[in-house]
Amino acid sequence: MNQDARKIRLVMELRQSGINDTQVLSAIERVPRDTFVLPTFVDQAYENTALPIEEGQTISQPFVVAFMTQALEIQDRSKVLEVGTGSGYQASVLSKICRRVFTLERHRTLLQQAEANFKALGYHNIVTRHGDGILGWPEQAPFDRIIVTAAAEEVPEALVEQLAVGGIMVIPVGRQSWSQSVVRLRRTDQGIEREDLLDVRFVPLLPGTTRRKTGVGSSTENHS
């Protein structure tokens, strides 16, 4: 089976799993996931599974990418902050739906890889930064949407403060890898509304930044 056929099969699987936002499905179909995986995993690029990338991180399971993107309820004029660029796949999917993506990554080597991927694919509405995702990107706030692709023990207050009124944040929350869930926060004039959406397993959201390459990891991220 060639990559195009595998991609079509993946999109059909996502639709059958409850992903019904046509913009999200279209973005998944148009973004070449094989660009964002390690060479040894190219044959698995369109399988519905998380895969290891450098720095002990993962490229998320396509269902989780689609689910979290759908949960954001993105509009075409939305200004989106992503915390955790990784190799750039989630940001690329977002870029097909919203006006502009601001994406933060604590691992400089991963960010450089993602930037090369964006350039190669001609994705020009993604702005990158090497920084501490827990602190967000205050100079560019407020954001209409915020997505975090690593699990926080608690929702970072700085990110909540950078969410516009009427905005939505989607973030995995949980102190243990076996008790995490994707949480959706809506900021209203009255405060924050919270709902738990999906049980997941993500790599942890860590403070600070790194510069040194630490090798390929084997951590996994999936919904359970």
pLDDT at position 3 is 81
Average pLDDT of every residue of the chain: 92
Q: What is the pLDDT of residues 26-40, one digit of tens each?
A: 999 999 999 999 999
Q: What is the pLDDT of residues 32-79, one digit of tens each?
A: 999 999 999 999 999 999 999 998 899 999 999 999 999 999 999 999
Kindly tell me the number of DSSP H helices and DSSP E strands found in the chain: 6, 10
Looking at 129-143, 175-189, 208-222, which range is the least confident one?
208-222
Q: What percent of the chain has pLDDT over 70?
A: 93
Exposure on the CB side of residue 190, measured as CA atoms within 13 A: 2
Exposure on the CB side of residue 207, measured as CA atoms within 13 A: 6
Task: Choose among 41, 20, 48, 125: nearest CA to 80.
Answer: 125
pLDDT above 80 (res 182): yes
- H-run or E-run covering 90: helix 89-95
The residues that are catalytic are 60
**What are the structure tokens assigned to 50, written together?**
């998380």
C-alpha–C-alpha distance, residues 88 and 194, integer Å? 27
User: Is the CA virtual torsion 107, 113, 116, 118 positive or negative?
Assistant: negative
CB 59 within 8 A of CB 82: no
Domains along the sequence of the chain with CATH: 3-213 (3.40.50.150)
Farthest-apart Cα atoms in the chain, separation = 52
pLDDT above 50 (res 4): yes
Task: Choose among 55, 3, 33: nearest CA to 213.
Answer: 55
* One-letter amino acid for residue 214 of the chain: T
Query: Cβ contacts of residue 64 below 8 Å, gap of 6+?
Result: 50, 182, 198, 200, 221, 222, 223
Query: Cβ contacts of residue 179 below 8 Å, gap of 6+?
Result: none
